[in-house]
Amino acid sequence: MKSYNIAVIGGDGTGPEVTREALKVLDAAQRKFGFKLHYTHYDFGGARYLKTGETLPDSAIEEFRKQHAIFLGAIGHPDVKPGILECGILLKARFALDQYINLRPVKLYRTEDCPLKDKTPQDVDFVVVRENTGGIYTGVGGVVQKGTPMEIATQVMIYGRPVVERCVRYAYEVTRRRNKKKMLTLVHKCNVLTHAGDLWVRTHKEIGDQDYPDIKQDYNHVDACTMWFVKQPEWYDVIVTENLFGDIITDLAAIIQGGLGVAAGGNINPEGVSMFEPMGGSAPKYTGQNVINPIAAINAAGMMLDTLGEREAAAAIDAAVTTALNSGKIKSLAAGRMGLSTTQVGDLVAATV
């Protein structure tokens, strides 16, 4: 029987509650599809940081390298200054494990969860492939004359051809495997970013012309893309974009798919160890009340199985989520308004996997 070692970081706030439900669904999936998941739990997060000053030690990164994947509930603590946990845990794992893809499926399950007028699940169904370790996030830049009236600070959108190319290739592969519109839209701002944008434009075209003649090439400026998300989301199939633009457009995308209750993401190293997480934060005000929506975490678990190669099980989880959401039992996707508890939603999905 195939078996996989999974590092589990429940994390802060409601993170452990949604993680519990995701593992419940994974347990149902492994029983049904005949594989085994071995979990190692880690207590990284705000609470541990406040106690020990430690975010994500190098020794943990070394242990993660030996795992097949990482599952992360949520990171974020009201008593920890913004930036410390994000940089110390999330970004550290992304960079250290070279998780160079951020994969964000954008799928609306129910018409009533979409804030856009007249849009249905048929209209909101695309994937964003965000470059996840380059660009402005590399931190290249600096500051001089800090605190003076003449202060200057830079943060550089730095990209090399190999980093762009591996991301673009991954996105073409996603497009081909999805086999829907077979269209890969590059989102950038090449009318202004004439150096970095042009590198993306040429790479998108060259790789496409050479190796993916079956895939249509499409381009949007990032500002226009945000309008089209609202006006005509049905245009999109797969989007590829650089890191910061991807960060911004995937939040907008999360809202049109029904919000943080369902949105999940994968920080993927296609040749290494990937990390999966629900997009919602630690939601401190809902902690311990059993009212947070676990579906985003369940979707993240499904993506994890898909990336591990357990595609049938992943598809079964997605089908179970669809069934649960259309059962009439879940009133809303918002925390506290579901009409069911966190545990009950997890039970409902687990029962139909």
Question: Which residues lie near ligand IPM (CB under 6 A)?
Answer: 86, 90-91, 247
Sole window of 14-22, 71-79, 164-172, 247-255 interacting with Mn ion (rule: CB under 5 A): 247-255
Instruction: Using CB under 5 A, pick the residue from 247, 255, 319, 344 that binds Mn ion.
Output: 247
* DSSP designation for 57: -
Is-contact 98 127, C-beta < 8 A?
Answer: no
In the complex, minimum distance from the CB of residue 209 to ligand IPM, in angstroms, rounded to a whole number: 31
Pairwise CA distance, residues 210 & 329, whole Å: 49
Q: Is 236 helix (H, G, I), strand (E, B) or coil?
A: coil
Sole window of 23-31, 125-133, 173-181, 244-252 interacting with Mn ion (rule: CB under 5 A): 244-252
CB closer to Mn ion out of 133 and 203: 133
* DSSP designation for 135: B
Count of residues in contact with Mn ion, rule CB under 5 A: 1
In the complex, which residue's CB is closest to Mn ion?
A: 247
CB closer to ligand IPM out of 173 and 247: 247
Candidates 305, 331, 329; CA nearest to 113 is: 331
Which of ligand IPM, Mn ion, none sits in contact with 86, Cβ below 5 to 8 A by type? ligand IPM
CB closer to ligand IPM out of 28 and 128: 128
> What residue has token string 């998300």?
229
In the complex, minimum distance from the CB of residue 91 to ligand IPM, in angstroms, rounded to a whole number: 6
Which of Mn ion, ligand IPM, none sits in contact with 91, Cβ below 5 to 8 A by type? ligand IPM
Q: Give the DSSP H or E segment for 10.
A: strand 2-11
CB closer to Mn ion out of 265 and 294: 265
In the complex, minimum distance from the CB of residue 182 to Mn ion, in angstroms, rounded to a whole number: 28
Pairwise CA distance, residues 49 & 82, whole Å: 13
Q: What contacts 67, CB < 8 A, 6 or more positions away?
A: 5, 6, 7, 40, 273
In the complex, minimum distance from the CB of residue 44 to ligand IPM, in angstroms, rounded to a whole number: 14
What's the token pair of residue 165? 């190319």
Is-contact 46 14, C-beta < 8 A?
Answer: no
Phi, psi (5° rounding) for residue 133? -130, 0
In the complex, minimum distance from the CB of residue 206 to ligand IPM, in angstroms, rounded to a whole number: 28
Is-contact 313 35, C-beta < 8 A?
Answer: yes
CB closer to Mn ion out of 69 and 279: 279
Candidates 258, 298, 292, 248; CA nearest to 278 is: 298
Which of ligand IPM, Mn ion, none sits in contact with 90, Cβ below 5 to 8 A by type? ligand IPM
Q: Is 86 in the site for Mn ion (CB under 5 A)?
A: no
In the complex, minimum distance from the CB of residue 212 to ligand IPM, in angstroms, rounded to a whole number: 27
